Amino acid sequence: MRLAIGSDHAGLDLKHTITLLLDELKVPYEDVGTFSPASVDYPDYAEAVSRAVVEGRADRGILVCGTGIGMAIAANKIAGIRAAVVWDETSARLSRAHNDANVMTIGGRTTPIDRVPAIISAFLLTDYAGGRHDRRLDKIARLERKDS
Ligand code: RB5
């Protein structure tokens, strides 16, 4: 499992926390930035991480902004990305099991820090459940094709 991770300025501290966790877990990742607290635009980092995933340079992506919301909106514009805002272990686990999320987005200003290890483990370790969810993901893929 190789990850791509990115944040804007509002997600910088939480991105740092997550990369420390990934180092501990020995999960390789490419950090696309941002690397300073200067104000930047989250769609640029959403695109960099999402392209790494759809081009196969990363298996999954993690994006951090103030709320996780802007990153999810931007990442979901890239064909093939299923980005989910997660805020606790349950949302992270179900984003994988039900939605086969290939990108998780999370809020640096909204997520209690003590939840982060469980969120990251759930996102990394939960397999997609398939079954009835295949039909729904097929419908999402069809929406993407209809609209391109
Ligand atoms: C940046 O101030 C903030 O708007 C951004 O990080 C994010 O929360 C957008 O969804």
Give domain 3-147's CATH number out of 3.40.1400.10, 3.40.50.2300, 3.40.640.10, 3.30.43.10.
3.40.1400.10
Confidence at residue 135, expressed as pLDDT on a 0 to 100 scale: 98
Q: Is 92 exposed, middle or buried (0-12, 13-18, 19+ CB in 10 A)?
A: buried
Tokens found for residue 23: 């180092």
Confidence at residue 148, expressed as pLDDT on a 0 to 100 scale: 81
DSSP string, 5-65: EEE-GGGHHHHHHHHHHHHHHT--EEE----SSS---HHHHHHHHHHHHHTTS-SEEEEEE
Residue 147 reports pLDDT greater than 90: no
pTM above 0.85, yes or no: yes
Question: Is the four-CA dihedral 82, 127, 51, 56 of positive or negative sign?
Answer: negative
**Residues contacting 19, CB < 8 A, separation 6+:** 5, 29, 31
Inter-helix orientation angle 89-97/116-125, to 10°: 10
Task: Provide the residue ranges of all domains of the chain, joining segments of one domain with +.
Answer: 3-147
Catalytic (active site) residue 9: no
List the residue whose alpha carbon is closest to atom 3 of ligand 1: 66
Catalytic (active site) residue 65: yes
Strands 83-85 and 3-7: unpaired
Ligand 1 pocket check for 12: Cβ under 6 Å: no
Phi, psi of 63 (to 5 degrees): -130, 135
Going from the Cα of 14 to the center of ligand 1, the distance in angstroms, rounded, reads 13
What CA–CA distances, in Å, run from 147 to 54, 88, 140?
18, 32, 11
Ligand 1 pocket check for 29: Cβ under 6 Å: no
Give the three-state DSSP class for 143: helix
Going from the Cα of 67 to the center of ligand 1, the distance in angstroms, rounded, reads 6
Interval 36-68: pLDDT, tens: 999 999 999 999 999 999 999 999 999 999 999
Interval 83-142: pLDDT, tens: 999 999 999 999 999 999 999 999 999 999 999 999 999 999 999 999 999 999 999 999
**Interior CA angle at 31 toward 115 and 110, to 5°?**
30
